[in-house]
Structure 1
Amino acid sequence: MSHEPRATRPVAFAVFSIIAGAIGWFASFELLTEYMKTLANPDYVPNCTVSVLVTCGPNMGSWQGSLFGFSNTIIGVSAFIAPIAVGVALLAGARFSAWFWRLYQLGLLGAFVFVCWLFSQSVFVLGTLCPWCMVVWSVTIPLWWITAFRPYAVGDVPLGAGAQRLFSRLYSWTWVIVLLCYVVFAFIAQMRLDWLSEFARA
């Protein structure tokens, strides 16, 4: 009888992936349903409309909101299934090949770049902050950075000892990088839109 030790399941990473994916999916679904309601009734006021600044109406109705010819919300509802599925599979004991992690990272990198672009369009072009969009941004940022470093740091993608130590150090600083991204986003939005004054008046 074999008594080889079973690989430790990455419970924390798996649970994080599930929760982040579920939050992103819910926010995307809310945006999609609100978008459909505005299509059915042009006078409908979306539930994310708080003020002239904090609203999703202009974003949904803009070309930026349908970059590929259909609502970006459809991308979110579809794409956020991936981290949920990855997290559930890891909890069940799945082990993915290196090619899978690289493909998954490529998808998350695309999501991160897309989020950065959408943020720039919201702040510098549309002049609004969409609450549900900000939820999507908030979960996409850590999903990307954590997954960018972790597979190399823990050996899921084999590297030389020196490279793995480097990624281990980077991985230990992940939350600092994530926090820095949040601060940069908030600072740019404040300089451009003065959102703190908006919330103070609310």
Structure 2
Amino acid sequence: MPTRLTHTRPRALAVWLIIAGAVGLLAAFELTVEKFHLLAEPGSTASCDVNIVVQCGKNLDSWQGAVFGFPNPLLGLVGWVAPIAVGVAILAGARFARWFWWLFWSGTAFAFGFVVWLIAQSVFVLGTLCPWCMVTWIVTIPTFYAVTLHVLRSGVAPAPGRVRAASDTLLGWVPLLAILSYAVIALIAQLRLDWIGTL
């Protein structure tokens, strides 16, 4: 017997998706502008280049900055529209089918995995912390946590009652989970790059 769907109109999640989508879209737009600037004026520096560690230019010019054959920020310009659209639709009263939530969760999972990979590349390979990239990290991480927990608590993903109840409780702790994630990233970056010493 299929699990009955609950929490089909998660308003708090909807508001977060709109905020995260708007912030992520801004970061993607700024990075795209910086990329155009660097292409138009070879040898110039990006406006977000603060110092040798905190900068965007090295990331944008690297192969990691265009993994799929085009600049990564273009993914953000397209991808961040989805959370905004989903959030607005939920607030407008839309109810989505199970397959839609699975598809949406898959998108957030891909974004989370890609961001984790980019964080590792930035810290361990490029030796940089890109400001606008970090803005993307800041909104991607809690978005993945929130959507995953919603999928579990709502019955979209088949899960025992205890798991659903725990997911419902943990959803309120997403801000703390995100802050702990940021702290781990900051600590690793500090140990590897001593970014505080460069400020």
Normalising to structure 1: TM-score of the pair?
0.89
Contact persistence 2:38–2:46 (CA under 8 A): yes
2:61 matched to 1:61? Answer: yes
Aligned to 1:37: 37
Seen in structure 2, the aligned counterparts of structure 1 residues 190 and 41 have a Cα distance that, compared at 3 Å, is same
Report which stretch shifted further, 179-188 or 78-87: 179-188
- How many residue pairs were aligned? 193
Aligned to 2:4: none
% identical equivalent positions: 49
Deviation at 1:9, TM superposition (A): 4.3
2:99 matched to 1:99? Answer: yes
1:81-96 correspondence to structure 2 within 5 Å? 81-96=81-96
Q: Partners in 2 of 1:150 and 1:136 — Cα distance?
A: 21
Normalising to structure 2: TM-score of the pair?
0.90
Name the amino acid aligned to 1:134: M
Deviation at 1:167, TM superposition (A): 2.3
Contact persistence 1:96–1:156 (CA under 8 A): no
Q: Partners in 2 of 1:51 and 1:97 — Cα distance?
A: 48
Q: Partners in 1 of 2:110 and 2:163 — Cα distance?
A: 24
Name the amino acid aligned to 2:63: W
Seen in structure 2, the aligned counterparts of structure 1 residues 159 and 122 have a Cα distance that, compared at 3 Å, is closer
1:173-192 correspondence to structure 2 within 5 Å? 173-192=173-192
Name the amino acid aligned to 2:178: V
Aligned to 2:170: 170
Contact persistence 1:49–1:57 (CA under 8 A): yes
Seen in structure 2, the aligned counterparts of structure 1 residues 8 and 154 have a Cα distance that, compared at 3 Å, is closer
- 3-state DSSP class of the match of 1:47? coil
Aligned to 2:74: 74
Deviation at 1:178, TM superposition (A): 1.7
Q: Partners in 2 of 1:133 and 1:163 — Cα distance?
A: 33
**Which 4+ runs in 1 deviate beyond 6 A?**
none
Name the amino acid aligned to 2:108: L
Contact persistence 2:8–2:96 (CA under 8 A): no
What are the Cα deviations for residues 46-88 of structure 1, in whole angstroms up to 9, with x where unaligned? 1111111111111000000011111101111110011000111
Rg comparison, structure with higher value: 1
Deviation at 1:184, TM superposition (A): 1.0
Q: Partners in 2 of 1:77 and 1:62 — Cα distance?
A: 19
- 3-state DSSP class of the match of 1:128? coil
What are the Cα deviations for residues 7-27 of structure 1, in whole angstroms up to 9, with x where unaligned? 984332211100101100110
- 3-state DSSP class of the match of 1:83? helix
**Larger RCO, structures 1/2 (Cα 8 Å, 6+ apart):** 2
Q: Could you tell me which runs of 5 or more consecutive residues in structure 1 were left unpaired when the two chains were aligned.
A: 1-6
